[in-house]
Structure 1
């Protein structure tokens, strides 16, 4: 294996696995929210356009989770849109968290840890861009 290929593969697999973890988390959180978000106070939604967690959960499941999964698949398959999908996924995750924290505030360690994952996704994508896809 040439020396250029090893770092590229490490970056690619790290990025793909991180995107998969974010997707799984978004699918689980989105499903939980759509199922009624038991034990999550609806008072947190005061000031938002939502009276329950169904629509935010649907967005989390489809947009955040779906895009992260698609980006992971693209990264693993060396698809020509892989880098764009990963950048967009990282950006959507950060925007989702920004809006979430603005509406409900800081409520869980998952918010900063997911934000860190999104930043790492963007940084790894930037590094992967240095290699020819």
Structure 2
């Protein structure tokens, strides 16, 4: 079973690096231009949300989905015992993030369902790593 678990660690780490790169870039874009223009969005998308600008969502995106994913990837590549639980938590955070986006802004991009699926995959792979312990 060790080889199977190592495969999960590698998949988790790679997925989290991919998510982290996009989230850090988008988070920086939203914080630096809170009107959303840096990443091709408009504050009009926030009309039905509790936010007046993308600044706070950008901070959350940067910290949780960005830096959090890099931290999770680090743990995964190191085969750390907390890797599974951190990956599950990040998957739940991704699902909440995407669900909130769709609730407040609507389905505006093909990336939303893709990242929702990534969140589900994170939970499944994190669970698989935890289960093997």
Fold shared, TM-score > 0.5 on shorter chain: yes
Larger helix percent: 2
**Which deviations, in whole Å up to 9, do the C-alpha atoms of 1:68-87 show, x marking residues without a partner?**
11111111112232111111
The 3-state SS of whatever aligns with 1:94 is helix
Larger Rg: 1
What is the TM-score with the length of structure 2 in the denominator?
A: 0.90
C-alpha contact (below 8 Å) 2:88/2:122 kept by paired residues? yes
Query: What is the root-mean-square deviation of aligned Cα atoms in Å?
Result: 1.3
In the alignment, what sits opposite 1:52? 53
Unaligned segments of structure 1, at least 5 residues: none
Q: How does 1:66-77 map to 2 (within 5 A)?
A: 66-77=67-78
**Which deviations, in whole Å up to 9, do the C-alpha atoms of 1:32-65 show, x marking residues without a partner?**
1112121412111112222211111111001221
C-alpha contact (below 8 Å) 2:9/2:79 kept by paired residues? no
In the alignment, what sits opposite 1:21? 18
The alignment status of 1:108 with 2:105, answered yes or no, reads no
